[in-house]
Amino acid sequence: MSETTMEKIVSLCKRRGFIFPSSEIYGGLASTWDYGPLGVELKRNVKNAWWKAVVHGREDMEGLDAAILMHPETWKASGHVDGFSDALVDCKNCKKRFRVDHLPGEGNIRTCPGCKKEIDLTANPPRAFNLMLKTYLGPIEDDGAITYLRPETAQGIFVNFTNVLDARHRKLPFGIAQIGKSFRNEITPGNFTFRTREFEQMEIEYFVTPESAGEWYERWVAERFAWYVRLGIRADSLRQRQHAADELAHYAKGCTDIEYLFPFGWSELEGIANRGDFDLAQHAQRSGKDLTYFDQPANRRFLPYVIEPSGGVDRATLAFLVDAYREEEVKGATRVVLGLNKELAPFKIAVLPLLKNRPDIVELARKITGGLKKKFVVKYDDTAAIGKLYRRQDEIGTLYCVTVDVQSLEDHKVTVRDRDTMQQDRIDLEALEDYLTTKLT
Ligand code: GAP
């Protein structure tokens, strides 16, 4: 099998309608991407699989959809106004700007990756560059109107902690899950959808007693790792990496990243952090509101600790795409297959008429499509000859192709082709729905 490269993935995504460069007719906007007809289905399936696993599948979780725009005090309390920045330095020779932690070299003497000249950080001190995207609310662009596009969804959860606690009569431990867009003015976006300035997060804030935080941290690391494996990522392309003390974010007592082996190397899919009581303490102090929890049986009041599994929707989607991509030799030709898990595949079934100029075949194929649509995501396709249609469906990961031919009109049977084995079964129309239900559920 030949190597999966990012070029192959980007090309497939464009060709088959998964991901397009944003604003392409204007030449694109750096590192922004639009999810096309196939991409929007795949991404939605990723989010649904997450929601099913962490909200609907558990008794200890609630969902939330908080606003992107939040009170500006939120970001002072969370530490983002003061601390969410990268140290940048301008090369005096070539005038390009770099993140200091990306510069080759040691200590204060570094090498410019652009012009290869020396950069002396004592003579040329780095400056902090805040990563939050600023905007103004209302018609007057003054300091009083400044707010930010949220750089993480997490804070929407923290400020709603007592709302959810009271409305749902919750006791510890319990968690709140949220999926939504976040924005960061990244200095070095890139690697396709891996690092962008607008992206989507799937975040959980799980509230626990301080004494049980360590145990819940371990449990969530295992649980989140297993989710990726369950949805088809090969376990040898996944690993856990614990942060060293000097790597930890300002709020974290501990953090483990789940990393995937992308074509550009091991990179973070999700981080599971022990945030302690940092956020609730900060918000309680700034807002003046009581955010403590009263543990009735123990008769004590305290700020809960928080375990935070925080993943990227776009990164997970990209990892599922890369991991599912394979090329096979079939009868001297290359077959490209997206071997996506059945929960994630954009279309489950394609119905294909063998002859599109035969109205009776087309009518039967359309009738079958209409019937199956009540239960599955099904597409009718007659835009090419059958061989080509199979190849196209393989490339977008469709699990089963149902082909209607001349004989189907007489024997009321259709051919069902399996994406992975390419095995074809002749199935009675009466039994078709049950056959596919068994395969797909
Ligand atoms: N609330 C914690 C938090 O936001 P993070 O490690 O900064 O932690 C969590 O982000 C996840 O969000 C990352 O693991 C990654 O999957 C995703 N993410 C972060 N920045 C991103 C970016 N610029 N582009 C795409 N995804 C990003």
Please indicate, yes or no, whether residues 151 and 190 belong to a single structural domain of this protein. yes
- CB of residue 311 inside a 6 A radius of ligand 1: yes
In a domain, 228, yes or no: yes
- CB of residue 184 inside a 6 A radius of ligand 1: yes
Question: Is the bond leading into 297 cis (omega within 30 degrees of zero)?
Answer: no
Report CA(182)–ligand 1 centroid distance (Å). Answer: 9
In a domain, 362, yes or no: yes
- Contacts of 22 by beta carbon, 8 Å cutoff, 6+ apart: 28, 29, 32, 33, 34
Please indicate, yes or no, whether residues 120 and 164 belong to a single structural domain of this protein. no
- For a substitution probing ligand 1, which of 194, 279, 315 has the most ligand atoms within 8 Å of its CB? 315
Please indicate, yes or no, whether residues 262 and 391 belong to a single structural domain of this protein. no
- For a substitution probing ligand 1, which of 86, 157, 199 has the most ligand atoms within 8 Å of its CB? 199
Please indicate, yes or no, whether residues 147 and 206 belong to a single structural domain of this protein. yes
Please indicate, yes or no, whether residues 183 and 100 belong to a single structural domain of this protein. no
The number of folded domains in the chain is 3
Token pair recorded at residue 278: 């940092």
Report CA(258)–ligand 1 centroid distance (Å). Answer: 12
In a domain, 372, yes or no: yes
In a domain, 327, yes or no: no
Please indicate, yes or no, whether residues 22 and 32 belong to a single structural domain of this protein. yes
User: Each residue's pLDDT tens digit in the chain (441 positions)?
Assistant: 579 999 999 999 999 999 999 999 999 999 999 999 999 999 999 999 999 999 999 999 999 999 999 999 999 999 999 888 888 999 999 988 898 988 999 889 999 999 999 999 999 989 888 999 999 999 888 888 899 999 999 999 999 999 999 999 999 999 999 999 999 999 889 999 999 999 999 999 999 999 999 999 999 999 999 999 999 999 999 999 999 988 888 788 899 999 999 999 999 999 999 999 999 999 999 999 999 999 999 999 999 999 999 999 999 999 999 999 999 999 999 999 999 999 999 999 999 999 999 999 999 999 999 999 999 999 999 999 999 999 999 999 999 999 999 999 999 999 999 999 999 999 999 999 999 999 999
Please indicate, yes or no, whether residues 125 and 144 belong to a single structural domain of this protein. no
The answer, as to whether pTM is greater than 0.75, is: yes
Report CA(311)–ligand 1 centroid distance (Å). Answer: 6
Alpha helices in 35-184 (DSSP H): 37-51, 72-77, 80-83, 154-158, 161-167
- For a substitution probing ligand 1, which of 184, 310, 318, 320 has the most ligand atoms within 8 Å of its CB? 310
Output the residue whose Cα is nearest ligand 1's atom 19. Answer: 312
Output the residue whose Cα is nearest ligand 1's atom 16. Answer: 312
Structural domain containing residue 120: 85-130
| CA–CA gap between residue 206 and residue 52 (Å, rounded) | 16
- Contacts of 112 by beta carbon, 8 Å cutoff, 6+ apart: 91, 93, 94, 96, 98, 103, 118, 119
Output the residue whose Cα is nearest ligand 1's atom 7. Answer: 152
- CB of residue 271 inside a 6 A radius of ligand 1: yes
| CA–CA gap between residue 18 and residue 159 (Å, rounded) | 35
- Contacts of 259 by beta carbon, 8 Å cutoff, 6+ apart: 238, 239, 240, 241, 266, 267, 268, 269
| CA–CA gap between residue 218 and residue 361 (Å, rounded) | 57
Candidates 311, 216, 214, 219; CA nearest to 259 is: 311
Strand, coil or helix: 213: helix
- CB of residue 201 inside a 6 A radius of ligand 1: yes
Report CA(305)–ligand 1 centroid distance (Å). Answer: 21
Sign (positive or negative) of CA dihedral 434, 436, 439, 441:
negative
CATH of the domain at 140: 3.30.930.10
- For a substitution probing ligand 1, which of 152, 191, 202, 306 has the most ligand atoms within 8 Å of its CB? 152
Report CA(238)–ligand 1 centroid distance (Å). Answer: 17
Tell me which H or E stretch contains 204.
strand 198-208
Last residue of a domain, one of 289, 322, 355: 322
Please indicate, yes or no, whether residues 47 and 138 belong to a single structural domain of this protein. yes
CATH of the domain at 407: 3.40.50.800
Rounded to 10 deg, the angle between the 313-324 and 6-16 helix axes is 100
Report CA(256)–ligand 1 centroid distance (Å). Answer: 13
**Closest-lying ligand 1 atom to the alpha carbon of residue 197:** 23
Q: What is the DSSP letter of 53?
A: I
| CA–CA gap between residue 7 and residue 263 (Å, rounded) | 10
What secondary structure does DSSP assign to 243-273, as a single string? PPGGGS-TT-SEEEEEEEEETTEEEEEEEEE
Please indicate, yes or no, whether residues 285 and 354 belong to a single structural domain of this protein. no
| CA–CA gap between residue 11 and residue 18 (Å, rounded) | 10
Supply the pLDDT for residue 1: 58
Please indicate, yes or no, whether residues 161 and 308 belong to a single structural domain of this protein. yes
In a domain, 412, yes or no: yes
Please indicate, yes or no, whether residues 26 and 147 belong to a single structural domain of this protein. yes
Last residue of a domain, one of 130, 163, 186: 130
Please indicate, yes or no, whether residues 45 and 20 belong to a single structural domain of this protein. yes
**Closest-lying ligand 1 atom to the alpha carbon of residue 271:** 14
CA 369 distance to own-chain centroid: 30
- CB of residue 203 inside a 6 A radius of ligand 1: yes
Supply the pLDDT for residue 382: 97
